[in-house]
Structure formats: C-alpha cells, structure tokens
C-alpha cells in the first residue's frame, strides 16, 4: 500500500528532522556531561538564532549561508556569556539550583523576545532558490533539504575532529567522564565549560535557522518543544556522550516521521506522546541510553 518512493520521501523527512534534533542534542549532552545540568534555555538559543537569521536575511543581501553562520558565532558567544553570568556563580551549589536557574534563563529569553518584538509568529521567508524542488524517482526534495542535511553533517564532522584530535577536545571528553580526575590532570575546567557552551549554543543556533527554514516561521516559543525532544534524543543515545546525541537525534527524527507517515492519520496528533513513550521504552531496556554505559571499576 505504501510505494517505495513514499518510503524514501519519509526517509528524507526523517533525515532532516533528525539532523536538527542531533544538532540541538549535541549541545545539551556536552553541557550535561560536564555540569550535570539540564539546560532548559538551550532550545531558546535555537529561537534566537532563527530570529537573528531572519533579521539578517530581511535587512541585507547576505546569502543564506552567511545568514546561518553569523548567528552561529553570535549565539555561541551568547551561550558563553549566559554560562559566565548565571551558571558559573552556582558551581558547587546543589545541581537543582542550576536546573532552576536554566528555567529562569529560558523564561527570560522567551519573554524578552516577546517584549522587544512580538509574540506573533513571523514568516521566515527564504530566497526563492531554496524551495526549488527536485524529483528523483518520484521522491521530492528541495535545495533546502540538501543544504540543511549537508550543513548538519559537516558541522558534526567538524565537531568529531575537534573532540578527537585537539587537546581541548580530548579534555572535554575527559571532563564529561570524570570531572574530578580532569581537575587532577590540570585541565582548566572553566575553559572546557565555556567551550562546551560556545559549541553547543552555536549548533543550536544553526538548528534554529534550519527549523525556521523548514517550517517557514519563527515565534518566541519555537525552541521549547524541539529543545525538550532533543533532550529526549540525548538521553536515548546515552547522555554525556556526543555520538549518542547524534544517534539519538536521528533515531528520534526517523521514529517521529515514520510514526506520522505510516500510521493512520488519526494517530498523528499523538506524535509528541509517541516520542516520550519511545524514551520510556528505551530507558526500560537500556537505562543509560544506547551508547551510554555505567563505567564499572575493574579489578
């Protein structure tokens, strides 16, 4: 009843959604890995990234590529500032203090956006070329699909090289695994944490632009649900482990698209419920996520 091309179509949609979840989940998992902080404000930086891109596209002749990369740099810096101002003073306080602070930061970002701009959704219009449709064997995809997927993959490759090849990257993985031992290595933890926030927030900004471009709209609360789902993705993949965030992101993207695409339309309203049910199932079977493992002491 479903043709192969229909399946392929869903596959491409899943790939797109998955790469956005993965980009957002990376930042969440990096920060959680080191600070044990569920950063609720992460999704809101996604929103700010999208607004910034919107402003750049609307008021200039900048190509889309620049309009996405500039927010990445700016929002990366914003992430570092947020950490410096709000989370760092709470270092050493109970973890729940930081968690609540991040909820506060999230509320602050959303409401300051509403105050300075508007609560109304705004349309995110792209230059005409991006909605150019291609058809290959009955499967439709746009230049935007190709662009967003390849951009996401490029960024992930870059990140992988960074955490595998550079000292700071290795230190970052080490800090996520055992913060105490990382201190004893002489690693400057503040530097590592600032880097995690810079990279994570930058990737969230890119994800926000891609999200806005896919759905043609930006609004102040647009970051909340994808942020939450990206957290689910990070947990499914094994929180604290970067490849886990990527795997979890794609898995969740595919699962969500296939759920909507292959079940009777009556179910499609339950897609978010399905996402969280999936989380529960994975956690029942692998409590530490797919790639997460409890590091056991060996004798």
- In the complex, the residues that contact other proteins under the rule CB under 8 A are 167, 170-171, 173-174, 177-178, 180-189, 241, 295, 297-299
Cβ closest to other proteins, residue 120 vs residue 295: 295
Cβ closest to other proteins, residue 179 vs residue 199: 179
Cβ closest to other proteins, residue 96 vs residue 184: 184
CB of 90 to other proteins, least distance (A): 18
CB of 119 to other proteins, least distance (A): 44
CB of 177 to other proteins, least distance (A): 5
Cβ closest to other proteins, residue 62 vs residue 189: 189
Cβ closest to other proteins, residue 137 vs residue 180: 180
Q: How many CB atoms lie within 10 A of CB 61?
A: 7
CB of 163 to other proteins, least distance (A): 10
Tell the burial category of 8 from Cβ atoms under 10 Å away from its Cβ (0-12, 13-18, 19+): middle
CB of 173 to other proteins, least distance (A): 6
Cβ closest to other proteins, residue 96 vs residue 284: 96
CB of 27 to other proteins, least distance (A): 19
């Amino acid at each position: 009843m479903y043709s192969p091309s229909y399946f392929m179509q869903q596959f491409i949609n899943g790939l797109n959604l998955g790469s956005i979840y993965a980009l957002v989940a990376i930042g969440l998992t990096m920060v959680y890995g080191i600070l044990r902080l569920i950063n609720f404000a992460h999704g809101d930086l996604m929103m700010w990234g999208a607004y910034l891109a919107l402003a750049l596209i609307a008021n200039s002749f900048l190509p889309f590529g620049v309009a996405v990369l500039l927010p990445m740099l700016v929002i990366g810096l914003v992430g570092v500032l947020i950490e410096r101002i709000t989370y760092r003073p709470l270092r050493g306080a109970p973890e729940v203090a930081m968690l609540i602070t991040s909820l506060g930061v999230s509320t602050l970002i959303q409401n300051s956006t509403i105050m300075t701009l508007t609560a109304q959704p705004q349309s995110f219009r792209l230059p005409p070329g991006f909605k150019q449709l291609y058809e290959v064997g009955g499967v439709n995809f746009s230049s935007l699909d190709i662009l967003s997927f390849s951009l996401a993959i490029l960024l992930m490759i870059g990140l992988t090289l960074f955490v595998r090849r550079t000292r700071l990257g290795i230190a970052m993985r080490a800090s996520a695994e055992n913060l105490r031992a990382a201190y004893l290595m002489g690693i400057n933890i503040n530097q590592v944490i600032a880097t995690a926030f810079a990279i994570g927030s930058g990737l969230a900004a890119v994800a926000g632009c891609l999200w806005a471009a896919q759905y043609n709209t930006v609004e102040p609360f647009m970051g909340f649900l994808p942020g939450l789902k990206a957290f689910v993705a990070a947990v499914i993949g094994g929180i604290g482990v970067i490849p886990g965030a990527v795997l979890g992101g794609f898995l969740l993207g595919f699962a969500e698209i296939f759920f909507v695409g292959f079940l009777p339309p009556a179910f499609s309203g339950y897609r978010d419920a399905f996402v969280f049910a999936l989380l529960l199932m994975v956690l029942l079977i692998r409590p530490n996520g797919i790639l997460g493992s409890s590091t056991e002491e060996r004798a």
